[in-house]
A = this chain, B = another copy of it.
Amino acid sequence: MATLEDIGVSAFINILGAFAFLLAFALLRIQPINDRVYFPKWYISGGRTSPKRSRNFVGKFVNLDLKTYLTFLNWMPQAMKMSEEEIINHAGLDSAVFLRIYILGLKIFGPIAIVALLVLIPVNVSGGTLFFLSKELVVSDIDKLSISNVRPNSIRFFVHISMEYLFTFWICYLLYKEYDRVASMRLNFMASQRRRAEQFTVLVRNVPHVSGRSISDSVDNFFQTNHPDHYLCHQAVYNANKFAKLMRKRERLQNWLDYYQLKYERHPEKKPTSKNGFLGLWGESVDSIEFYKQQLKELDKRLAMERQRILKDPKSIMPAAFVSFKSRWGAAVCAQTQQSKNPTLWLTNWAPEPRDVYWKNLAIPFVSLSIRKLVISLSVFALVFFYMIPIAFVQSLANLEGLERVAPFLRPLIELNFIKSFLQGFLPGLALKIFLYILPTVLLIMSKIEGHAALSVLERRAAAKYYYFMLVNVFLGSIVTGTAFQQLHSFLHQSATEIPRTIGVSIPMKATFFITYIMVDGWAGIASEILRLKPLVIFHLKNLFLVKTERDRERAMDPGSVDFPETLPSLQLYFLLGIVYAVITPILLPFILVFFAFAYFIYRHQIINVYNQQYESVAAFWPHVHSRIIASLLISQLLLMGLLSTKKAANSTPLLVVLPVLTLSFHKYCKNRFEPAFRKYPLEEAMAKDTQEHASEPDLNLKSYLADAYLHPIFHSFEDVELTEVGVDKNQTQLPSPPASEPSSPSPPHYAYDYEDEPQQNVQNYQVEPPHNVYQYSFESPHNVYRYDIESPPNVYHY
């Protein structure tokens, strides 16, 4: 049991760590050479083109202005100066609403902390058993401030119960207000957006195969029949996975070519050579530049052939299509209604943003989707509850006795002192650490297998899985000893009333552990986020070896984005901790408040200066945030019931049993009241926007506007001739409109970056190689327009 001093020491260490990170950040960020690491967002939004005021050669790389070193925390007020409106314009609604979660945390736990500390601490301290026992027994100081200190059967528990009521009502009130606010922000955002392709487009899946008719014909025919007044055109989806693979290979070769050309430029006296064998390790030595040029040429030939195959082979058209309508109203209608008698065919949904589409999953048939969902949910269950089994196995191999048993011949080696200590200190944790490190990636891959068609959905599903993992393994796992599997086993053999009791009893004892957890993970962990060590290193490595032109440097930048699959679940864990401990050990609340405030500053800074979101889901994650806070409320109520029943305050159960029922019905009400705003698009809105557009742009050629919005990214690298070949089915629709007036953008060779996030890649790659921002640069697709129309960055940002 940790004493108050222990906590103090831990706090001191963690605050020190956090300050170290902040100091390092403050020093690194004002170096012009790091400008693209710490302010990439401004480069992308056009606010900057190169580090400012490079007076001399050294000044280009190192900041010589000593004055700036003195005010190393000045990013904090700067980060606060942007209003929410400006943040929405600058970084999108997702980011703005993400920041609101932290504010919500502060709003919830600020008043609760004050009330709880003022009311509950005196009640607990004065009331108790432990207070008098403390001289003899080793009891944590923290416990004296907690509910543990209250005598069983005491009338004081009614204070705790009334506090639980008060906090529940307060949290529900704030949640309601916030849901209302976010829902209206979402609708306002959608209403204020300029014309965007996804407003007119519906993703149709499971197009049935009719023999003797192409998919395109079927789609045209079906929608001309069933939406005669609204159907405009459609875009077929091509299976271009093989082509994308070749493009990735081409990109790799191009990188090597660039590298050798740069090397040659810098040292013209020495022609670079490489070996033409396996991995460049052996074989004949050849001129590198010539070699890679040759390779690229061959690859281009193969790419051209593959292109031809995709265009000619009807099998490469997948049974899915992006169907566009003449009005938002028509699209809203199609997205929300059932089209066909067989509800597993012609499935319609709003099309995700073009950037957000996960092309590979578009062709999964309905039956396969059901099976995938079943398999993945079983796997997630197994992962959450049984992940310790393989790890424990690896650990048992990895401990010293185990190793010696398995491989006795290693004994002399292992017995060496330094090797022994290294193994002992390192091995047992290694397997677990590797597992936890790759866990988000694994969960994202699982979500991909589940078959969702948009990146944003994939990330939300991964976040949900990660939340379950944290809930069981971090929260319950820390409270109840034993692995998740053992817990599951014991829960199955305990009665429904026994389980909350078992957990409830151990909750107060774990307060100190969670306080430490908050400081390590929440304080120091968040501080390390701002330093961006990995992007920093990678940027400089790339700068050294690959960058030739300013555009290459642009590409070497890695702005990253808010990592929803990881940050949302951990945020939700903090809400859970705060809500559960608010009544039981209120001393934990200030630590959580510090986390929310600190993280708010950091993420605000990052969102303004660094992150560049890959997609805009228009706050689609909010219902999840809301319902998980509600779940936390329910958990806290159940655990309090369990805890109080062991305190012989048995007559409290009927009092408390009302709360979960009220909370659940509040949740249901909110779901009905607000969730449709996140799932459907009201016809009233669609019609209003249509009317407004008709008035302002009566002779808009929508068809040409939509012509290549949902073109499979593969076609952006095709020549224009071929493009018209794909466009054939667009121009042959019933409306003989003029051919697309907006020519598809010419394709720079680097365009292939777009394929970086094919499913073979894992989530880490997202941070190393931002696929989409490059895309934004080389191609002014219509849906990016709103990113460009921020006014020049506010003047306050003098660096």
Contact = CB atoms under 8 A, between A and B. Distances in A.
Chain B CB count within 10 A is highest, among A346, A378, A683, A687, for A683
Nearest to A496: B492
Interface in A307-330: 329
A337 B338 CA distance: 10
A211 interface: no
A687 B226 contact: yes
A492 B492 contact: no
Interface in A488-515: 491-498
A378 B661 CA distance: 9
A672 interface: yes
A653 to B, nearest CB: 11
A311 to B, nearest CB: 31
Contacts of A496: 491-494, 496
Contacts of A337: 332-333, 336-337, 680, 682-683
Nearest to A336: B337
B226 A229 contact: no
Contacts of A683: 226-227, 337-339
Contacts of A333: 333, 337
A668 interface: yes
Contacts of A677: 341, 343
Chain B CB count within 10 A is highest, among A222, A227, A333, A677, for A333
A333 B668 CA distance: 26
Given A493-B497, A495-B493, A495-B498, A187 B341 contact: yes
Contacts of A668: 370, 374
A684 interface: yes
Interface string A214-253: 0000000010011101000000000000000000000000
Interface in A67-109: none
Interface in A4-50: none
A792 interface: no
A669 interface: yes
Contacts of A665: 370, 374
Chain B CB count within 10 A is highest, among A225, A378, A495, for A495
A495 B494 CA distance: 4
A534 to B, nearest CB: 41
Nearest to A686: B226
A280 to B, nearest CB: 50
Contacts of A336: 336-338
Contacts of A338: 336, 676, 680-683
A343 B338 CA distance: 20
Q: How many copies does the complex hold?
A: 2
B673 A344 contact: yes
Given A333-B337, A337-B336, A343 B676 contact: yes
A346 to B, nearest CB: 8
Contacts of A672: 343-344, 366, 370
A295 interface: no
A225 B492 CA distance: 57
B674 A343 contact: yes
Nearest to A491: B496
Given A333-B333, A491-B496, A497-B493, A340 B682 contact: yes
A599 to B, nearest CB: 32
Chain B CB count within 10 A is highest, among A343, A370, A674, for A343
A685 interface: yes
Chain B CB count within 10 A is highest, among A226, A346, A366, A677, for A226
Contacts of A494: 495-496
Interface string A655-668: 00000010001001
Nearest to A490: B495
Contact of A684 (B341, B366, B374, B491): B341
A725 B786 CA distance: 53
Given A226-B687, A338-B682, A682-B341, A370 B669 contact: yes
A491 B674 CA distance: 36
Contacts of A681: 338
Contacts of A339: 682-684
A31 B498 CA distance: 67
Contacts of A367: 669
A201 to B, nearest CB: 17
A665 B341 CA distance: 22
Nearest to A375: B665
Contacts of A674: 343
A366 to B, nearest CB: 8
Contacts of A493: 495-498
A494 B496 CA distance: 7
Contacts of A374: 661, 665, 668
A382 B333 CA distance: 42
Contacts of A684: 222, 225-226, 339-341, 346
Nearest to A664: B374
Contacts of A492: 495-497
A251 to B, nearest CB: 40
Contacts of A329: 226
Contacts of A222: 684
Nearest to A371: B665
A687 B683 CA distance: 20
7 contacts: A222-B684, A226-B329, A339-B683, A343-B672, A344-B672, A374-B665, A491-B496
Q: Lowest 10 A-B CB distances belong to which pairs?
A: A343-B676, A338-B680, A336-B337, A374-B665, A493-B495, A226-B687, A338-B682, A370-B669, A333-B333, A494-B495
Given A340-B684, A343-B676, A370-B672, 4 more contacts: A187-B341, A336-B337, A374-B668, A493-B498
